[in-house]
Amino acid sequence: MNGRSTLVALALFVSIATQAMGEQATAPAIEPDVVYGHKDGLAMTMDVFRPEGESNQAAILFMVSGGWYSRWAPPEQTRNFLAFYLKEGYTVFAVRHGSSPKYTIPEAVSDVRRAVRFVRQNAERFDIDPNRIGVTGMSAGGHLSLMLGTTGEDGQDDAADPLLKTSSRVQAVVALVPPTDLRVIVWDSSEGQSEYHSFPALNLPMDKAEEFSPLVQVTPDDAPSLVMMGGEDKLVPAVHGTWIDKAMTKAKVPHQLKIVPDVGHNLITATNAAEMQRAMLDWFDKYLLEESAEGK
């Protein structure tokens, strides 16, 4: 190959490689550590996972929270856990909030509300429909999901922070083993030992426990919610699901309570994983795809 041919071939290679890199930069399969806000000099981050095939334009925010601790994990590991959503065309956001013990439950709720606003404001960037946003989580993550579903609000037109002008409402919730009434599990440091004493986030005054209990916040305009509880759960007994089921029935909120017998707080097992995943997908399909397509 002569020098001219070599230069032409090299130019073509660079052009193709640059185009490929550009396409990857705009829509990588995993976009880790996307910053959705700052506080106390720290970045609040989420990992973004693109669907495996064509996007269905719907988004699912996964609350990374257990005991209101929010820990970082390798994105590839998180992606494997959420792969069943990605295979169905959903774009998934793994949202980390300010973690216990440094930050409280009210602060965690504020963080995840901001995350919803951020995703909605950046809908075009993430190739999603801003009116097709669902949330899910397990245990404390389920609690935060229900808080988003029961307390979502429209944007604040007079807010100084431009992001607060964007709505924090979500269109569907899937909450796994969520505590729905914090009033029965909070503890005061001045009182005796509680079975929940190992969770610093639950050291809340009763007025805050009431304000941040999804059960207390149920109103007719809440997001359709699927609540799944373990029949043998000792940490968050299934009665938490029964309580919010009654409240949502009274308020006429579209919802479903599923109590899985013979399992505890670790709701998803090797034997029921496929069934659980199908139930979650069916709920999001109904309220993020079918209902949205009908203009509801």
Q: State how many domains the chain has.
A: 1
Q: In terms of residue numbers, what domain contains 121? A: 28-293
6 assigned to some structural domain: no
101 in a structural domain: yes
Q: Is residue 214 one of the residues assigned to a domain?
A: yes
Asked, for residue 233, whether it belongs to a domain, the answer is yes
Is residue 1 domain-resident?
A: no
Does some domain include residue 20? no
Q: Closest Cα to residue 55, out of 149, 148, 125, 135?
A: 125
Which CATH number covers residue 190?
3.40.50.1820
Global pTM?
A: 0.88
Flag whether 289 is in a domain: yes
Looking at the domain assignment, is residue 5 inside a domain?
no
List pLDDT tens digits, range 254-282.
Answer: 999 999 999 999 999 999 999 999 999 99
Residue ranges, the chain, pLDDT below 70: 1-27, 188-194, 292-296
Give the per-residue pLDDT at 1. Answer: 42
- Look at residue 194 in the predicted model and tell me its pLDDT: 64
